[in-house]
């Protein structure tokens, strides 16, 4: 039954359009799209988009900015009752509908040729949008339409060409639904000339777009850039080819849980696995866009060759030609590649290193080789601050009981547990002569229910949770009683089968900050997050990634954040970054190494104090 508030006529009498309530063309989260025609000329068939939100005005501005190039022509915009109305050209079916029909009526070779043409045309559409300084923000098959021509323009109802007969070699897809679009570059001002990329930011739980096609950066709540449109385009092309993506059909109690399941599958799969049944150029495409830095201009020519499924040797020859052309140091840059920090090297918070990692201007890079797909690898992350504060020690054992015995010895020496880590099949504890601590207990609980009871029992005794760890059979927990006037004001915990994003955000609003966390995969998925009121922080971020996010870490360092927790979960690395109210150190160093013991000693030799460590995925 049609909504009574939906108008039957749109616009002033001089430019009026009739809306057909019986022909719903599309239905979205904020409104609907209906078929219609111009009142004075029924042959002019239109689509009438009704939006409940004022955000529609942003989309109208984007459509005008594109001037009908790759987007529908706009005939009228205005407000009718509670609706924001946009009248535009009526187009054909979505690419999703087109591909689904083609898949069952044509041989795969024909579909592959057609999808290759579509992918290359979509790439150029997005390139045009990017050159105007904008990104789409929700690239998916449903947001591109196939144009069609009326078979008889004298008729009021437009007769469409059958979907299966539409040849995309000769038709150009049209981009719609620009409601999530945004700018990737800053506006020029008197004191800022030329093209300046927007700044990086991240917000836990921030998500705009469609889960199935979203980029990994979008899932992580990061500011969208050109790379994200192009990653979504890869998943769009793969869907058009195959009719399905590997992470479809995930179930969960709510959308947040389903989205995290999709993220785990999407991020843990290699480009080769994602593109297993697609032309092999697609794995180069996915590898490239996933490795693309936030500020960097994409190499659209390289991506166009990746989408040319018809001639793989052409792509190989193209690379050989570029290789021969790359004669200048800036283009070939062998020295830069050789001197770049490798696995296990240190990432320091200093201007020289940051400037190198975040270079956004300069000449466009020339791609001379298909990007190499990284091997899945794990290493130790060792985080330390300069200068060294107090006495420190560490101990590491192959069994929990041996660890406990050694911990008792350190307690007698006036050293307190700062952090425990049960990763890498070893039981490790970091110690510091923390003057704020009065008493401490280390325990191992074999179930989540036991862990909950232990936490509540020791809260009642005046203790607070200060460190957590997870091994194959249970949970390690450190509870601490503080010296007078040094304790937290309050503490809270959450046990969940996923990262409890909404709970964390609610606690942040009440001035709670993450003190420690741990995650398990067997026998069940579980995350345990401890948040405390009274931590010396002004704000906090949580970054989730499937590798070591060097670029991201540097951007947070530049914004005044430091790493305060590291954990690993299902191929994902969880980084907790906190902004101190008062900085008591000059440098933070994040090292990746296979020998964490050597790195800890190196930190002490260089007057650095240990913060945390974890065994995490690096590539």
Q: Which one of 89, 112, 139 terminates a domain?
A: 89
Q: Count of domains in the chain?
A: 3
- Is 601 marked as a binding-site residue? no
Q: Domain check: are 488 and 432 in the same one?
A: yes
- What is the percent of the chain with per-residue pLDDT over 90, rounded to a whole number? 66
In a domain, 523, yes or no: yes
Q: Which domain holds residue 439?
A: 378-617
In a domain, 361, yes or no: no
- C-beta separation of 226 from 298 below 8 A: yes
In a domain, 356, yes or no: no
Give the whole-angstrom CA distance, residue 463 versus residue 438: 10
Q: Which one of 63, 89, 115 terminates a domain?
A: 89
Domain harbouring 34, CATH code: 3.30.200.20
Q: Domain check: are 475 and 522 in the same one?
A: yes
Q: What does the CA dihedral 410, 415, 417, 419 come to, rounded to 10 degrees?
A: -110
- C-beta separation of 83 from 93 below 8 A: no
In a domain, 2, yes or no: no
Q: Which of 48-52, 420-424, 523-527 has the lowest mean pLDDT?
A: 523-527
Q: How high is the pLDDT of residue 325?
A: 46
- 559 band by pLDDT with thresholds 50, 70 and 90: very high
- C-beta separation of 415 from 431 below 8 A: yes
Instruction: Convert the pLDDT of each residue in 37-62 to its tens digit.
Output: 999 998 899 999 999 887 899 999 99
- What is the percent of the chain with per-residue pLDDT over 70, rounded to a whole number? 85
Q: Domain check: are 81 and 128 in the same one?
A: no
Give the whole-angstrom CA distance, residue 330 versus residue 362: 9
Q: How high is the pLDDT of residue 187?
A: 79
SS3 of the chain: helix, strand, coil, percent, to 5:
30, 30, 40
Q: Domain check: are 174 and 272 in the same one?
A: yes
In a domain, 354, yes or no: no
Write down the residue that tokens 């000693």 correspond to.
601
Report which of residues 417 and 585 the model is more confident about.
417
For 4-17, what is the mean pLDDT?
A: 86
In a domain, 390, yes or no: yes
Q: Domain check: are 283 and 326 in the same one?
A: yes
- C-beta separation of 420 from 469 below 8 A: yes
Q: Classify residue 70 as left (phi > 0), alpha (psi -120 to 50) or beta.
A: left
Q: Domain check: are 336 and 471 in the same one?
A: no
Domain harbouring 319, CATH code: 1.10.510.10
Instruction: Convert the pLDDT of each residue in 484-495 to its tens digit.
Output: 988 899 999 999
Torsional sign, CA 149, 153, 158, 164: negative
Q: How high is the pLDDT of residue 33?
A: 93
Instruction: Convert the pLDDT of each residue in 206-245 to its tens digit.
Output: 888 899 999 999 999 999 999 999 999 999 999 999 999 9
Q: How high is the pLDDT of residue 314?
A: 52
Instruction: Give the residue from 14, 6, 21 showing the smallest Cα distance to 39.
Output: 14
Adjacent-strand bridge partners of 357: none
Instruction: Convert the pLDDT of each residue in 253-309 to its tens digit.
Output: 788 889 989 999 999 999 999 999 999 899 999 999 999 999 999 999 999 999 999
| Helix orientation angle between 108-131 and 95-105, rounded to the nearest 10 degrees | 160
> Which residues have a Cβ under 8 Å from the Cβ of 558 and sit 6 or more positions away?
354, 358
Instruction: Convert the pLDDT of each residue in 70-124 to its tens digit.
Output: 999 999 999 998 899 999 999 989 999 999 999 888 898 999 999 999 999 999 9
Q: What does the CA dihedral 344, 345, 349, 354 come to, rounded to 10 degrees?
A: -120
Q: Domain check: are 218 and 197 in the same one?
A: yes
Q: Domain check: are 45 and 130 in the same one?
A: no
Q: Domain check: are 416 and 509 in the same one?
A: yes
For 137-147, what is the mean pLDDT?
A: 94
Q: Domain check: are 69 and 113 in the same one?
A: no
> Which residues have a Cβ under 8 Å from the Cβ of 554 and sit 6 or more positions away?
347, 353, 354, 357, 358
Decide if pLDDT at 545 tops 80: yes
In a domain, 174, yes or no: yes
Q: How high is the pLDDT of residue 67?
A: 79
Q: Which one of 38, 70, 89 terminates a domain?
A: 89
Average pLDDT, the chain: 86
Write down the residue that tokens 């052309």 correspond to.
325
For 497-525, what is the mean pLDDT?
A: 92
Report which of residues 244 and 371 the model is more confident about.
244
In a domain, 306, yes or no: yes
Q: What does pTM read for this prediction?
A: 0.85
Instruction: Give the residue from 514, 567, 553 showing the smallest Cα distance to 537.
Output: 514
Q: Classify residue 106 as left (phi > 0), alpha (psi -120 to 50) or beta.
A: beta
- 347 band by pLDDT with thresholds 50, 70 and 90: very low
- C-beta separation of 262 from 218 below 8 A: no
- C-beta separation of 119 from 174 below 8 A: no
Report which of residues 239 and 350 the model is more confident about.
239
Q: Domain check: are 463 and 586 in the same one?
A: yes
Q: Domain check: are 398 and 328 in the same one?
A: no
For 362-385, what is the mean pLDDT?
A: 73
3-state secondary structure of 374: coil
């Amino acid at each position: 039954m049609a909504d009574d508030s939906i108008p039957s006529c749109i616009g002033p009498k001089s430019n009026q359009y009739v809306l057909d309530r019986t022909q719903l063309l599309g239905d979205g989260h904020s409104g609907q799209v209906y078929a219609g025609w111009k009142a004075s000329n029924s042959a002019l068939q239109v689509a009438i988009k009704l939006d409940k939100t004022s955000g529609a005005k942003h989309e109208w501005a984007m459509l005008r900015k594109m001037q009908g190039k790759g987007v529908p022509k706009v005939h009228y915009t205005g407000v009718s009752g509670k609706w924001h109305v946009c009248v535009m050209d009526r187009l054909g079916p979505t690419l999703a509908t087109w591909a689904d029909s083609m898949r069952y009526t044509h041989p795969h070779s024909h579909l592959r040729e057609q999808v290759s043409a579509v992918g290359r045309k979509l790439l150029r559409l997005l390139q045009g949008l990017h050159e105007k300084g904008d990104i789409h923000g929700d690239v998916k098959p449903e947001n591109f339409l196939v144009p069609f021509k009326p078979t008889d323009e004298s008729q009021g109802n437009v007769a469409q060409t059958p979907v299966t007969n539409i040849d995309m070699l000769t038709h150009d897809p049209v981009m719609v639904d620009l409601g999530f679009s945004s700018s990737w570059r800053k506006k020029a001002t008197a004191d800022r000339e030329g093209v300046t990329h927007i700044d990086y930011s991240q917000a836990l739980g921030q998500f705009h777009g469609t889960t199935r096609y979203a980029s990994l950066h979008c899932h992580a709540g990061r500011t969208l850039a050109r790379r994200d449109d192009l990653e979504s385009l890869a998943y769009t092309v793969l869907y058009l080819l195959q009719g399905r993506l590997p992470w479809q059909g995930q179930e969960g109690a709510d959308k947040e849980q389903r989205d995290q399941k999709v993220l785990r599958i999407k991020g843990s799969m290699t480009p080769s696995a994602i593109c297993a049944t697609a032309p092999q150029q697609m794995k180069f495409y996915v590898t490239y866009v996933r490795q693309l830095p936030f500020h960097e201009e994409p190499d659209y020519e390289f991506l166009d060759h990746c989408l040319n499924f018809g001639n793989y040797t052409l792509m190989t020859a193209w690379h050989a030609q570029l290789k021969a052309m790359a004669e200048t140091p800036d283009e070939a840059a062998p020295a830069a590649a050789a001197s770049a920090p490798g696995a296990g090297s240190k990432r320091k918070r200093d201007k020289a290193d940051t400037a190198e990692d975040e270079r956004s201007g300069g000449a466009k890079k020339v791609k001379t080789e298909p990007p190499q797909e990284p091997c899945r690898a794990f290493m130790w992350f060792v985080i330390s601050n300069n200068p060294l504060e107090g006495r420190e020690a560490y101990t590491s054992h192959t069994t929990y009981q041996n660890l406990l015995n050694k911990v008792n010895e350190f307690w007698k020496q006036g050293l307190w547990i700062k952090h425990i880590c049960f990763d890498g099949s070893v039981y490790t504890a970091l110690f510091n002569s923390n003057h704020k601590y009065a008493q401490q207990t280390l325990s191992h609980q074999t179930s989540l229910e036991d862990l909950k009871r232990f936490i509540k029992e020791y809260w009642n005794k005046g203790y607070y949770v200060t460190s957590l760890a997870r091994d194959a059979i249970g949970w390690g927990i450190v509870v601490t009683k503080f010296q007078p006037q040094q304790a937290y004001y309050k503490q809270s915990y959450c046990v969940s089968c996923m990262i409890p994003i909404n709970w964390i955000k609610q606690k942040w609003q009440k001035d709670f900050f993450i003190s420690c966390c741990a995650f398990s995969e067997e026998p069940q998925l579980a995350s345990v997050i401890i948040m405390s009121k009274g931590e010396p922080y002004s704000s906090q971020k949580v970054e989730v990634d499937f590798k070591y996010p060097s670029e991201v870490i540097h951007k947070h360092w530049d914004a005044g954040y430091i790493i305060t927790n590291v954990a690993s979960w299902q191929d994902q690395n969880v980084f907790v970054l906190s902004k101190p109210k008062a900085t008591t150190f000059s440098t933070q160093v994040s090292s990746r190494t296979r020998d964490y013991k050597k790195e800890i000693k190196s930190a002490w030799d260089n007057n650095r104090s240990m913060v945390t460590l974890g065994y995490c995925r690096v590539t």
